[in-house]
Amino acid sequence: MRFLRICLLIVLLGSVIVFSVDAQNNSGKGLTIGFSQVGSESAWRLEFTRAIKVEAQERGINLLFLNAENSQKNQITALRSFINDHVDAIILAPVIETGWDQILHEAQDAGIPVVIIDRNVTADESLYLTRVSSDFVYEGRLAAVWLAQATAGKKCKIIELEGTVGSSAARDRQIGFNDVLKLFPDMQIIFSQSGDFIRQNGKKIMDSILKTEDPTEICAVWSHNDDMAIGAIQAIKDAGMKPGKDILIVSVDATPDIFKAMADGDANATIELSPYLGGPAFDAIIAHLQGEDIPKWIPVTGKIYFPDTAAAEYAKRQQ
């Protein structure tokens, strides 16, 4: 009996020692983290997924990855399974902004910290540890400022390809773009439709606009991501026009395909959205487990790119 007690003590002490080693380990080695990803709708998303998996592997983190295929229901199920698995932390890339309160309460009650990554949630910030993301409003503003400067603020009829309805990425980019547009009354969005951040949808929407609107009247396409812009570029070419010249193209993400399009003269500007959000999210979780205070927002910045550096940027991204 005494022997058994000693064995039990050793096992218990062992796990305490292992836990404190994990908590003091800056790489996060040995942690199990559940990650609910939005889906695979865009090239940016695929790179984000690839990068976070590599980052986890290099750090020795056991990343439980679940792809939600753009469904909030799937994400809630995924989070519940992470909670049942008693993971050390959860990373949530939410497809839409609303509807997270209940599941975030469940994670909090289980003592599991949640990091919101990329898109935002409307839930009270006391329900999550931090959010790692870019500033989507700023991205929209930057796109509009560039367009205003490129057209000298003159008459410009704009087509807007929106991202997923209900996502903060779409909503905030729209708010930012429209903020700037208010200063230039001759610049107007004449048509706006959601293409769900999907390339083929960008093409379909643009195909139909070019049939219903007078194409020579369209000055620019403002696309909430590069993939939809690439689809629109194809539609403009199919209609016998020159994207990047007849119709200006500005979008967000800075993916390899848009650099290729800019190098070919088919697109005009892209605003970078870093897909390397996993590292800062892991760092925040580790720091929290080590008892540090974490700010509620960890911003990730990006810059605007133009055709002049596009060929070099494209080459860099092929390596």
- Number of Cβ within a 10 Å radius of residue 241: 15
The DSSP symbol for 308 reads G
CA atoms within 13 A on the CB side of 248: 20
Measured from the CB atom, the residue of 44 and 282 that comes closer to ligand AHR is 44
**69/85 with CB nearer ligand AHR:** 69
Q: How far is the CB of 19 from ligand AHR (least distance, A)?
A: 34
Residue list 147-206, contact with ligand AHR (CB under 6 A): 169, 197
8: CB partners within 8 A, 6+ apart:
none
User: Binding to ligand AHR by residue 49, rule CB under 6 A?
Assistant: no
- Under the binding rule (CB under 6 A), the answer on residue 225 touching ligand AHR is yes
> What torsion, rounded to 10 degrees, do the Cα atoms 177, 178, 181, 185 define?
160
- Which residue number, 50 or 154, has a Cβ lying nearer to ligand AHR? 50
What's the token pair of residue 152? Answer: 């000298």
Residue 72, CB-side half-sphere exposure with 13 Å CA sphere: 16
Residue span 69-88 as binding mask against ligand AHR, x where in contact by CB under 6 A, dash where not: --------------------
Best CA proximity match to 253, nearest among 169, 127, 180, 129? 169
- In eight-state DSSP terms, residue 27 is T
Q: How far is the CB of 95 from ligand AHR (least distance, A)?
A: 9
Residue of 33, 36, 37, 42 that binds ligand AHR (CB under 6 A) = 42
Q: Which is nearer to ligand AHR, 137 or 287 (CB)?
A: 137
CB 261 within 8 A of CB 233: yes
Task: Sketch the per residue contact string, 103 through 122, with ligand AHR: x for CB under 6 A, - otherwise.
Answer: ---------------xx---
If one asks whether residue 45 binds ligand AHR (CB under 6 A), the answer comes out as yes
Q: Candidates 42-50, 52-60, 257-265, 307-315 — which segment interacts with ligand AHR by CB under 6 A?
A: 42-50
Residue 97, interface with ligand AHR (CB under 6 A)?
A: no
Q: Is the dihedral of CA 256, 46, 245, 234 positive or negative?
A: positive
> How many residues at the interface with ligand AHR, by CB under 6 A?
13
Distance CA 214, CA 200 (A): 22
Closer of 88 and 118 to ligand AHR (Cβ): 118
Residue whose entry in the numeric block shows the structure tokens 């000055």: 219
Question: Going by DSSP bridges, is the β-strand pair 304-305/269-272 parallel, antiparallel, or unpaired?
Answer: antiparallel
Site for ligand AHR contains 266 (CB under 6 A): no
Among 28, 31, 36, 44, binds ligand AHR (CB under 6 A): 44
**Phi and psi angles of residue 273, each rounded to the nearest 5 degrees, phi first:** -120, 110
Nearer residue to ligand AHR within complex by CB, 120 or 286 = 120
Q: How far is the CB of 206 from ligand AHR (least distance, A)?
A: 17
**Residue 272 engages ligand AHR in binding (rule: CB under 6 A):** no
Cα separation of 249 and 143, whole Å?
10
**Which CA distances in Å does 206 have to 43, 195, 217, 242, 245?**
19, 10, 14, 14, 16
Residue of the chain from 63, 87, 132, 273 that contacts ligand AHR (CB under 6 A): 273
Binding site for ligand AHR (CB under 6 A): 41-42, 44-45, 118-119, 169, 197, 225, 227, 252-253, 273
